[in-house]
Amino acid sequence: MKLNMMRESFSAFWQQRNAQERRLLSGATIFLLFALIYWIFVNPAVTNKAKLQAAIPQLRQQVNEIASMSGQYAQIAAAMTENIEPVTREVLEASLLRRGIKAQSLTASDDIVRLQITSVGYSNMMEWILEMQKAARLTVEDAKVTALPEKGQVGVVLTMKQQKGSS
């Protein structure tokens, strides 16, 4: 019903215009329609295409960097698969002694290390664990850390396992 009223209103408006005004209004409508289509569809596509073309060299550089890192990873992985010496009690005691850590009990058998320390500085213990991860490829399998009344001191019970390479 409203649509019919709008049609009649537009038809009456259109009939009141002479031929020159109708051509001018038709041309303006067509121009606005094309401008709207360009603004909604064409302009975003053109600007995004330009942005993507500008980004291509940077993306290629990133691909080259990733390929380089992949090569480095392959080299590191190959180095990690080399056989390492089994960890011994003497090696562990020496590394603990260098850090001033006294173990209450220490056992090293096959690739398993069990360690109990009654009192040690937390940061000192974490640094020793990191050192052992790098030097002997020991990873913590089980850890029990107990805070002591002295600030920064902890009691530690660790079970560590040596990761073996597969050559």
Integer Cα distance of 45 and 98 in angstroms: 66
Q: 113 pairs with which residues across the strands?
A: 108, 160
- Alpha carbon separation from 29 to 7, 33, 164 (Å, rounded): 17, 6, 78
Report the predicted TM-score, pTM, of the whole model to 2 decimal places. 0.52
Residue owning tokens 């975003």:
44
**Tokens linked to 1:** 């019903």
Integer Cα distance of 136 and 164 in angstroms: 10
**Least confident interval from 28-37, 56-65, 79-88, 155-164:** 79-88
**Tokens linked to 75:** 């080299």
The three-state secondary structure class of 18 is coil
**Tokens linked to 136:** 């002997």
The residue type found at 18 is N
Task: Identify the pLDDT of residue 151.
Answer: 92
Strand order of the β-sheet with 153-162 is 105-109, 112-121, 153-162, 138-147
The radius of gyration of the chain's CA atoms, rounded to the nearest angstrom, is: 38
SS3 track for 104-119:
CEEEEECCEEEEEEEE
pLDDT band with cut points at 50, 70 and 90 for residue 84: confident
Residues contacting residue 119 through CB under 8 Å, at least 6 positions apart: 148, 150, 153, 154, 155
**Tokens linked to 27:** 């041309």
**Mean pLDDT estimate for the chain:** 90
pLDDT band with cut points at 50, 70 and 90 for residue 83: low
Stretch 68-83: mean pLDDT, rounded? 80
The three-state secondary structure class of 85 is coil
